[in-house]
Structure 1
Amino acid sequence: MTEQFPHTATASTAPGASLPEHAAVQLDVAAARERIDRVRANIAQVIEGKDEQIRLALVVLLGEGHLLVEDVPGVGKTVLAKSLAASIDASVNRIQFTPDLLPSDVTGVAIYDQNARKFEFQAGPVFANIVIGDEINRASPKTQSAFLECMEEHQVSVDGVTHALPNPFTVFATQNPSEMEGTYALPEAQRDRFMARMSMGYPSLAAELKMVERRDQGDPVTQLRPVVSAAEVRAMIQVARSVYLAPVLQRYIVELARATREHDDIRVGVSPRATLHLLRAVKANALIEGRDFVIPDDITSLARAVFAHRLVLNSRSVRGAIGTAEAARVMDQIVQQIPTPTSA
Structure 2
Amino acid sequence: MTTRVSPSEYILRTPAIGPAIALVVAVVVFGLTTDTFLNVDNLSLVVQQSLVIGTLALGQTLVILTAGIDLANASIAVFSTLLIAKLAMTGTDGVVALLVGILAAGAIGCVTGGLVTGLRLPPFIVTLGMLTIVTAVSRIYAQGQSFPVTDGTLGWLGTTQYLFGQIEVTYGMAVMLAMFLGLWYALSRTAWGKHVYAVGNDPESARLSGIHVRRTVLSVYLVAGLIYGIAAWQALGRVPNADPNAFQLGNLDSITAVVIGGTSLFGGRGSVLGTLVGALIVAVLRSGLTQAGIDNLYQDVATGVLVIAAVAVDRFSRGRQR
Q: TM-score range by the shorter chain?
A: under 0.3
Higher helix content, 1 or 2: 2
Q: Which has the higher contact order (CA 8 A, sep 6+)?
A: 2
TM-score, normalization: structure 1?
Answer: 0.24
Higher strand share: 1
- TM-score, structure 2 as length reference: 0.26
